Structure 1
Amino acid sequence: MKGSILAMNKTGIVYVAFFALTVAVSLSSCRDKRSTGLEYARNMYDPIAYNPDQPNKNFANGQTAQTPPPNTDPVGFVKYEYANTKEGYEAAGKNLVNPLPLTEQNLLQGKHYFTVFCAPCHGDKGDGKGHLVQIEKFTGVPAYHGDAASSRGGMMKDLTAGKIYHTIMYGLNNMGSHASQLSPKERWEVVMYVQKLQKIQ
């Protein structure tokens, strides 16, 4: 009997303590509407470095983000000298040559990227009958082989490596640019695979 009374008192004390804590937390949270409450490890989310749009007294113009010096390129940047024009397309067709060796590994990589980025429209076999064409989302997608004509003149099966690369770089008609999705090496691997598809009879 005495033990059960003590157990009830302990339970009551726990409930009262929990209720008092809840009331204290509720009242303290109502005190200041602008307060963010307790902050843990403030230096974890206050950066030591300047933000790009933050004023910076270390530079004469007061800006953190500075214009790069003339004639400099970001690390890993590969310049593409041909403009997105008919003349640039023709020049790329005459002057650009695939720098990658024709190996099984490069062809496999090209096939992989072609399947991911090109096959939905151009089809797995390069016949212009990809999934998006079959559900009538896009029309007029050319095949890489057979008698398909390029919208820029000539036959698709005769496109040079430079013309294919230029088209991947800038896009054409309904096809958007793939320059942001594929690195220069990956583009050349796709070109290599497309040239293999051009030979299908």
Structure 2
Amino acid sequence: MKGLIKILVLAVVLIAVSCKKDTAPNYQFMPNMYQSEGYETYGEAAFPNGIEAQLPAQGSVARGYIPFDIENTTEGYELAKATLMSPLDSTQVNLERGKKLYDIYCGICHGNKGDGQGKLVKREKILGIPSYDDAGRAITAGSTYHTIYYGKNAMGSYANQLNEEERWQVVSYVLKLKADLEK
């Protein structure tokens, strides 16, 4: 009996070893996954219905993006200045967070106090940054938001760096700085 078991085990091992040949390739399951068909870039075969397959549907909005309906024009700036109000109520305004964001993105030019004396102005790298309390400058929440969104003069847009809620936090902090400077 013990001899029969040894012979069976030896036979199974020999069969398993004899099936593997290093000279012959192994079987491929689903060979189209290993050897895909090559297509020319933007060729007919890749897009049977044309290139329109890659374009987003008309009127669609990218995920996480909220469109700003006011145009990047002087008229749009004046409209935002007159009509745009913060959607944040007093419980949602976080001046500490607004200060952190302001210090990161705005303070280098506008100064940490909003007086137009940031590090780049002091080193004369950028000139002509006005203070928030300058006479004739009626800064409103709408005008500040429009400026952050589109930029103005030498200042670029910060729409890609700050999401909508963060922009409104910075606007709230800028209005606080303006009130502090006017005291």
TM-score of the aligned structures, taking structure 2 as reference length: 0.71
Tell whether 2:54 aligns with 1:74: no
* Contact persistence 1:126–1:194 (CA under 8 A): yes
Shift of residue 64 of structure 1?
A: 8.3
Residue 29 (structure 1) aligns with:
none
* Contact persistence 1:113–1:190 (CA under 8 A): yes
From 128, 132, 156, the counterpart of 2:120: 132
Shift of residue 59 of structure 1?
A: 3.9
Residue 159 (structure 2) aligns with:
179
From 161, 168, 171, the counterpart of 1:191: 171
| Partners of 1:162 and 1:195 in 2: CA distance | 11
Aligned pairs, number:
144
Tell whether 2:95 aligns with 1:115: no
Q: Give the RMSD, CA atoms, in angstroms.
A: 2.5
* Contact persistence 1:54–1:64 (CA under 8 A): no
Matches within 5 A, 1:29-178: 55=43, 57-61=46-50, 63=51, 66-103=54-91, 106-145=94-133, 148-149=134-135, 154-155=136-137, 158-178=138-158
Gaps of 5+ in 1: 1-45
Shift of residue 57 of structure 1?
A: 3.2
Gaps of 5+ in 2: 1-33
* Contact persistence 1:102–1:192 (CA under 8 A): no
* Contact persistence 2:132–2:178 (CA under 8 A): yes
- Match of 1:87, SS? helix
| Partners of 1:164 and 1:136 in 2: CA distance | 24
Q: Deviations over 1:7-31 (max 9, x none)?
A: xxxxxxxxxxxxxxxxxxxxxxxxx
Residue 6 (structure 1) aligns with:
none
Q: Deviations over 1:106-162 (max 9, x none)?
A: 2111111100000001100000000000000011101112xx15xxxx31xx31101
- Match of 1:199, SS? helix
**What percent of counterpart residues are identical?**
44
Q: Deviations over 1:73-106 (max 9, x none)?
A: 1111101011111100011112211011234862
- Match of 1:168, SS? helix
* Contact persistence 2:93–2:172 (CA under 8 A): no
- Match of 2:94, SS? helix
| Partners of 2:48 and 2:142 in 1: CA distance | 44
Q: Which amino acid aligns with 2:158?
A: H
| Partners of 2:127 and 2:69 in 1: CA distance | 31
| Partners of 1:105 and 1:94 in 2: CA distance | 21
